[in-house]
Amino acid sequence: MLRTPTKFLLPILALSLASCGDDNPGETHIALIDERAELTDPATGRADRGDEYLLGALAQGLVRFDARGQIEGALAERWHVSDDGRSYIFRLASGSWPDGEPIEADDVARALRRQIAARRNPLHDTMGVVEDVVAMTDRVIELRLSSPRPDLLSLLAQPEMAILKGEVGAGPFLLSEADDDANALHLSRLVPNRRTDEMREEMLHLTAASAQRAVGLFSAGSVELVLGGTFTDLPLARGADLSRGELRFDPVLGLFGLLPRREKGPLADPSIRSILSRAIDREAFLADLAVPGLVPRARILQAGLDIEQAAQPPAWLELPLTERQDMLARNLRSLVDDDAQSEGGPVLQVALHLPDGPGGDMLFNRLSTDWGRIGVEARRVEDRADADFTLIDQVAPSRSGEWFIRFFRCGSVRLCSKDADALMDDARAAPTVEERHDLLTRAAMMLDEAELFIPIAAPVRWALVGPYVTGFSPNSLARHPLMGLKGPLSPENAP
């Protein structure tokens, strides 16, 4: 991550908030659960939770998400998709960089090519279907694809596709001030008055804080919105004195579960990993979290994606855990070498790398209890390199099942399936969406059979929302733009 550059700082806009009256979009005080408030270039690596909000506010892409997670124009005012789905043409709106220079197609195309080509960009593989980005005129850009990608607009709206010119973005907000400790930032933008031709100022005051401090600030009335909550810190929000409706959950799509790391030894055996997966009392863990709508999961894919067939839960997930435990314990003992079992000790030891925090403690206690019942001793390690399993907790960038499947491609994870990889490659080259989905379904089933991931549920994403933040809406992408937080929600135009 990089510190917010000093050239990004601009003088505070001179409009007086007190003079704006009832039409003033006003000020919103926000706590971002993150260590620091920093602007991260996605080409250099994954942004932290809070950094993603800063990117969306200061360096929007061609399109962006509205509060409901629907696509709306950003740098592009309109776009056209070809009938075959392999060409996206965008017309840029009139605009300028913070230094006053006009935003031109060459700058935007260059920035997009850089983000797509950057191997450290988290969406590098996902955007691999884009063959070229061409500036056709000063205000028109074309993205040329090797095959149809119906979710491309959702990908372009992600903070990973932020348009940067050097270290500077094109809004919609300007960074008007940064506190010396870099834990507080003040953003502003001018917005039209709904009833007059005058422009009004919208101000955001962002504070980077630990989850505990962020919840405390909200409870004390010092901030009106807390963003960036996950399962790790959910118990802190649960323990706060909150009014009804202030704790909100996003019904997200994504991956939440254990990723195996051992290529040798007992845990390299898919049968043993299958036993560990079946021994987890997912219902009990989710009951502890008490997140509305969160259901147990034992497949890589989940319901609600563009690929449904491979998301059906296995039959064993419906069986009570007590009916499975004795059988699982016997099967495990038969698979583990006698020499590996200490006399009177556990049949197997498993090292876990889990995030710090009360939610991580809850998950470890759940796994330790459930696995202990079949003779497995779980222990927690601080160093990821010492772990047999690490936790994956990532929200999907769209409703495309391809992201879920390609997450486990060879070269990205230690344990993989070359046969599944071949199907993924064939799917990317498929001429039709139907053929692509068929190949991806087969790949997903192959990955599940190989037990290359132990799913538990969907990720957990939460926010604390005060009564005057009327422009906030939970959505399946957990993307919450910082524009219009005190205004009305836009109408729903997408499922």
Q: pTM of the full predicted structure?
A: 0.92
413-428: average pLDDT:
97
Q: How far is CA 340 from the centre of its chain?
A: 39
How does pLDDT run across 389-412, given as a tens digit for each residue? 999 999 999 999 999 999 999 999
Give pLDDT, residue 1. 37
Is 24-231+461-465 in CATH node 1.10.3720.10? no
Query: What pLDDT does residue 343 have?
Result: 63
Domain covering 254-457 assigned CATH 3.10.105.10 in the classification: yes
Q: Average pLDDT, stretch 167-192?
A: 81
**Residue 124: pLDDT over 60:** yes
Domain ranges of the chain: 24-231+461-465, 254-457
How far is it, in rounded angstroms, from Cα 172 to Cα 297? 38
The confidence band for 260, taking pLDDT boundaries of 50, 70 and 90, is: very high
Residue 10 has pLDDT above 50, yes or no: no
Higher pLDDT, 201 or 408: 408
Query: What is the band of 17 on the pLDDT scale with cuts at 50, 70, 90?
Result: very low
The pLDDT value given to residue 48 = 86
pLDDT at position 261 over 50: yes
pLDDT band at 229 (very low <50, low <70, confident <90, very high): very high
Question: What does the mean pLDDT of the chain come to?
Answer: 90
> How high is the pLDDT of residue 493?
57
> Worst-scoring range by mean pLDDT, 162-176, 244-258, 382-396, 417-431?
162-176
- What single-letter amino acid sits at 447? L
Residue ranges with strand state E in 417-460: 454-457
Residue 80 predicted with pLDDT over 90 = yes
Confidence of residue 177 (pLDDT cuts 50, 70, 90): low
Per-residue pLDDT for 281 more than 50?
A: yes
